[in-house]
Amino acid sequence: MNKPVTVADKPQDEVRRAMIDLVAESRSRAVRIALFGEMLHRPDPEGRETEAERANSLKVLLDTIRWLERAHGLLTTFEDPWEEYPTEYVVWLKQFARAEPEAIEALGNMVDVSRAVGQAAETRNGQLGVALRAHDEARRGVFMPAITRLCNRIWAHIDNQRVKERGQAEGAVATTRKALQRMEQIATHVRLVAINAAIEANKLGDDGRGIAFIAAEFKSLAEELQTLSATARNDISSMGKN
pLDDT, residue 170, reads: 67
Across 138-167, b (16+ Cβ under 10 Å) vs e yields bbeebbbebbebbbeebeeeeeeeeeeeee
CB contact at 8 A, 71 and 107 = yes
* Single residue among 169, 196, 212 that ends a domain in this structure: 169
Give residue 14's domain range: 7-169
The answer to whether residue 1 sits within a structural domain is no
pLDDT, residue 5, reads: 55
Find the mean pLDDT for residues 155-160: 84
How would residue 1 be classed by pLDDT, with cut points 50, 70 and 90? very low
Find the mean pLDDT for residues 99-128: 94
* Single residue among 116, 146, 169 that ends a domain in this structure: 169
pLDDT tens string 11-61? 888 888 999 999 999 999 999 999 999 988 876 656 666 788 889 999 999
> SS3 breakdown of the chain: % helix, strand, coil, rounded to 5?
85, 0, 15
Q: Do 160 and 221 lie in a common domain? A: no
Task: Give me the number of domains the chain comprises.
Answer: 2
The answer to whether residue 100 sits within a structural domain is yes
pLDDT, residue 138, reads: 94
Find the mean pLDDT for residues 117-145: 94
Q: Do 40 and 155 lie in a common domain? A: yes
* Single residue among 153, 169, 185 that ends a domain in this structure: 169
The answer to which of 68-82, 126-140, 169-183 has the lowest mean pLDDT is 169-183
The answer to whether residue 232 sits within a structural domain is yes
The answer to whether residue 142 sits within a structural domain is yes
pLDDT tens string 188-238? 777 777 777 777 777 777 766 777 777 677 777 777 777 777 777 776 666
Higher pLDDT, 157 or 216: 157
Q: Do 58 and 136 lie in a common domain? A: yes
CB contact at 8 A, 114 and 68 = yes
Q: Do 71 and 141 lie in a common domain? A: yes
